[in-house]
Amino acid sequence: MSSDTNHHDHTHDDHGQETPSATALRVKALESLLVEKGLVDPAALDAIVDAYETKIGPRNGARVVARAWTDPAYKARLIADATSAIEEIGFVGSDRPHMIVVENTPSVHNLVVCTLCSCYPWLVLGLPPVWYKSSAYRSRAVIDPRGVLNDFGLTLEEGVAVRVWDSTAELRYLVLPERPAGTEGMHEDALAELVTRDSMVGVAKVAAPKEAAP
């Protein structure tokens, strides 16, 4: 049987993130006004947000993962001191929290959540997706992590333990996913293209590259 383990930080500080800030409310009001007056296409706006959520933002994290996959010394530094190792690649924030990287293995799968708010490693993953901020994900990830993974289409074998890591305003987690089989000869840049945001949150695995068409 698997031994699912929940990890929580007792110093969790939500910093009022459940309630939109005055700036966020003004931005939303401006967005609504521009859409109402026909100055902004809602579909185009959604496409821009999606790009920052799923493509542009997570590219930073993908580079960190790919470097760890190809450089054992860097991986060791990343596991020992993720904040410094991430800064090595050039990702430095003026108000960045402490980072911890947790590694997926054949026997352990890690899942990241923020139960009290929606703290997210924006420096390496960009904007948080809507589902990450939802109360349903934040509560179920702790009490039923396997069910959450199943909802995302990821079914783990019975012998794999699931560890849930609870982020805070001062401490953020990033999952180092398993390197997929068949990528041994790939270069770092090509590997980074395989890494997705969801795999670095822990709700997905990195898929092996599709075989080139003949």
91 in a structural domain: yes
Which of 2, 118, 139, 199 is the catalytic position? Answer: 118
CATH number assigned to the domain comprising residue 35 = 3.90.330.10
Give me the pLDDT at residue 13, please. Answer: 34
Q: Which residue range is the domain that position 36 belongs to?
A: 5-10+21-201
Residue 9, pLDDT above cutoff 50: no
Which of 32, 117, 139, 167 is the catalytic position? Answer: 117
183 in a structural domain: yes
213 in a structural domain: no
DSSP H/E element including 108: strand 108-113
Q: Can you spell out the DSSP letters for 90-157?
A: T---TTPPEEEEEE-BTTEEEEEE-SSS----HHHH-SPPHHHHSHHHHHHHHH-HHHHHHHTT----
115 in a structural domain: yes
Read off the pTM: 0.75
Question: What residue type is 96 in one-letter code?
Answer: R
pLDDT tens sequence across 124-179: 898 889 999 999 999 999 999 999 999 999 999 999 999 999 999 889 999 999 99
Helix axes 42-51, 22-36, angle to 10 degrees: 140
List the structure tokens of 60. 């930073």
114 assigned to active site: yes
Which of 94, 119, 167, 199 is the catalytic position? Answer: 119
Neighbours of 57 (CB within 10 A): 21
210 in a structural domain: no
80 in a structural domain: yes
131 in a structural domain: yes
94 assigned to active site: no
61 in a structural domain: yes
Collapsing DSSP states into helix, strand and coil, what is residue 8? coil
List the structure tokens of 201. 């949150």
Q: How confident is the model at residue 55 (pLDDT cuts 50, 70, 90)?
A: low
Which of 114, 134, 139, 199 is the catalytic position? Answer: 114
Q: Are 69 and 179 in contact (CB under 8 A)?
A: yes
What is the largest distance, in Å, between two alpha-carbon atoms of the chain?
58
Domain count for the chain:
1
Rg (CA), the chain: 18
